[in-house]
Amino acid sequence: MTDIKSSIGFHIVSIMTLLLIAVFLIQALTPYGSATSPDSISYLDIGSNLSNGKGLVTTNLAFDTAGTSSYSPQRLWPPAYPALLSCFIKNSFDVERVRFLSVILLFFSGTISLLILRTAQIDWLISLLFAVLTMLTLPMVLIYTYIWSETLFVPILLGMVLVIFKYLRLPSDKVLQKSIFIGLFVALGFTLVLTRYIGVAMILLFPLIYALSSKDHFDRIIIFCGLLVYTLFVVLFLADNYRVTENISGGTRSPSSLGLEDNLIHMTEAFMTILPTSLISIVLGIILACIVIFGIVATKGSWAGESQPDIALRLKYALVLISVTMLYLVALLAMRTHSSFDQIDVRLIAPAVPIIVLMLAFFPVMVTSRVASLSIGLVSLSLLSMLALQGLNGVTSAIINWEESGSPALPMRGNITFNNFTAGNQERAAVELIRSLVETEGYLFIERPLIWRFLTRRDTFSRPSILDTKMIDRLNGMPNGSIIITSLAEAQRIYSMIEAVGLQMEIVNLGDVVGIRLPFSDKGQIIDL
């Protein structure tokens, strides 16, 4: 009965602790709603279209006469995260509701990390401590500040690790339970691919599971069937991408301009960014670790709790964690070396960090000597405490930066920070000025229309790529209060064209660019603001 009560108490305390940490972090990091990058705005657009019954499409903001939006099939962004967003948001500007989703996903990440450590029979207080500190690391702080698919990718990847741990613990005669776990692993693995294409690298975990299992007849059948079903799902998904876009990854990606050496340097810089550089943080991290180790010694506890050490099983667990980490990082390097997308930074290494933290928790239980275990534990806890302190420093900086500059300004790599559109990474005065120039019924024509639609909450379209007399007539038919934002040179070219057909235009000086009022008029006027 005491064990049952202790177990219930552990679960209640753990759930409440992790939930409170998740709520605190999201409230502190997203005071004006979840932060947004260009990727985030695309996710919101696709999610909003899904929630409105338009399907997995992106809004095509190319100019047309009626000013209505059209939609294009969307496969460049995998569908899982936009689909999840569609369950929470009302429109493509709804950054407030995403905060609730971020709390749930961060809580899941912490909870699954805890369950992984408990499955390995690590002391529950140490397991809870590691789960909490994992949530406080800078990569976790960063990705859950923004509307990014990594927020879903991380708990799914952790869930796959938990399923492998559960499978490896089962005796050979538990065929039904093994089948259920492999089925769950297949579902999580396929969902991982639907979240980010890099998840396909985890297909190599199937042979690893077999190599670490008891390798009996049933293991061979169950794992092979799981691999077959997983491969079938992934092939069908990628084939459908090819059918729609003529590319298995959902769109054409330009070749990378960076070599393997450059990407290794960027990855190293990203990992260095998540570590503290101040002596105070380093010393404080060591002190916190010493306090925890002293508490374990004082209570005559151990890192592994009261369980009997099973070194062979824990070696298997450690091998799983190392394999998952290496698979992800190697796949990241390979993809970035082959194709151009964002340079490797804190965001892209984030899925590997919780797995690395779990590895730190495993090192002390790999030895049987209590002294050696606690000594290794001191090193592991010191490093993790430093990671968490760097994350907390990011939290405090984000709170200040939100108020001072309207952006969390969290580090991307080194001193480079991520941009943000939720409160405007540009001066809000510039955004509000353009917004004020476009009347409610008017249209805004500008480069990167999806971002400017988000910033101004106005109907926004891309500038016409071709200007001829027919296009001039179409522009002249736009509602009052519409405006084109363009360069001065382009404005002069437009002026020459409309003058030839007996029209003139009003120009608003906006500094580096100008605004051309629509529709055109018979009498021009230059307004300097």
State yes or no: pLDDT of 416 exceeds 90: no
| Centroid of chain to Cα 131 | 19
The whole-number pLDDT of residue 494 equals 83
**What's the mean pLDDT when you consider all of the chain?**
88
Residue 488 parent element (H or E)? helix 488-500
The whole-number pLDDT of residue 504 equals 80
Mean of the pLDDT values across residues 470-484? 84
- Please, which pLDDT band fits residue 513 given cuts at 50, 70 and 90? confident
Residue whose structure tokens are 């450590």: 117
Strand 57-60 with 459-461, pairing: unpaired
The whole-number pLDDT of residue 464 equals 81
**Separation between Cα atoms, residue 189 and residue 313, nearest integer Å:** 23
State yes or no: pLDDT of 118 exceeds 70: yes
State yes or no: pLDDT of 305 exceeds 80: no
Q: Count of CB atoms within 10 A of residue 177's CB?
A: 14
Mean of the pLDDT values across residues 245-257? 82
Rg (CA), the chain: 27
The whole-number pLDDT of residue 2 equals 41
Exposed, middle or buried: residue 2 (CB in 10 Å: 0-12, 13-18, 19+)?
exposed
Cα atoms in the 13 Å half-sphere on the side-chain side of 330: 10
The whole-number pLDDT of residue 287 equals 92
Q: Token pair for residue 50?
A: 């899904």
The number of residues making up the chain comes to: 529
- Please, which pLDDT band fits residue 419 given cuts at 50, 70 and 90? confident
Q: What is the three-state SS of 391-414?
A: HHHHHHHHHHHHHHHCCCCCEEEC
**Separation between Cα atoms, residue 34 and residue 145, nearest integer Å:** 6
pLDDT tens digits for 153-172? 999 999 999 999 999 999 88
State yes or no: pLDDT of 390 exceeds 50: yes
- % of the chain exceeding 90 in pLDDT: 51
- Please, which pLDDT band fits residue 527 given cuts at 50, 70 and 90? very low
State yes or no: pLDDT of 433 exceeds 90: no
Local structure of 317: helix, strand or coil: helix
- Let me know the angle formed at the C-alpha of 173 by 172 and 176, rounded to the nearest 5 degrees: 105
**Separation between Cα atoms, residue 251 and residue 96, nearest integer Å:** 30
- Please, which pLDDT band fits residue 300 given cuts at 50, 70 and 90? low
Mean of the pLDDT values across residues 488-504? 81
Instruction: Based on DSSP, count helices (H) and strands (E) in the chain, helices before strands.
Output: 20, 10
**Separation between Cα atoms, residue 273 and residue 150, nearest integer Å:** 18
- Please, which pLDDT band fits residue 354 given cuts at 50, 70 and 90? very high
The whole-number pLDDT of residue 308 equals 58
Exposed, middle or buried: residue 66 (CB in 10 Å: 0-12, 13-18, 19+)?
exposed
Mean of the pLDDT values across residues 407-412? 91
Helix 311-338 / helix 352-362 crossing angle, nearest 10 deg: 160
User: Are the CB atoms for 127 and 114 separated by under 8 Å?
Assistant: yes
**Separation between Cα atoms, residue 97 and residue 83, nearest integer Å:** 14
Helix 260-273 / helix 311-338 crossing angle, nearest 10 deg: 120
Residue by residue, DSSP assigns 269-281 as HHHHHTS--SHHH
Higher pLDDT, residue 4 or 224? 224
The whole-number pLDDT of residue 85 equals 96
- Please, which pLDDT band fits residue 529 given cuts at 50, 70 and 90? very low
pLDDT tens digits for 194-249? 999 999 999 999 999 999 987 788 888 999 999 999 999 999 999 999 888 888 88
33, amino acid identity: G
The whole-number pLDDT of residue 226 equals 96
- % of the chain exceeding 70 in pLDDT: 94
pTM of the predicted model, to two decimals?
Answer: 0.92
**Separation between Cα atoms, residue 465 and residue 484, nearest integer Å:** 12
pLDDT tens digits for 93-111? 999 999 999 999 999 999 9
**Separation between Cα atoms, residue 117 and residue 113, nearest integer Å:** 7
State yes or no: pLDDT of 524 exceeds 50: no
446, amino acid identity: I
The whole-number pLDDT of residue 424 equals 57
Q: Which of 405, 75, 12, 34 is nearest to 251 (CA)?
A: 75
Mean of the pLDDT values across residues 408-431? 78
Domain boundaries, the chain: 2-299+310-413, 425-522
Q: Token pair for residue 352?
A: 């590997």
Q: In whole angstroms, how far apart are CA 265 and each of 91, 159, 224, 260, 527?
A: 40, 30, 38, 9, 50
Per residue in 74-109, is it b (16+ CB within 10 Å) or e — as a string?
A: bbbbbbbbbbbbbebbeebbbbeebbebbbbbbbbb
Higher pLDDT, residue 42 or 299? 42
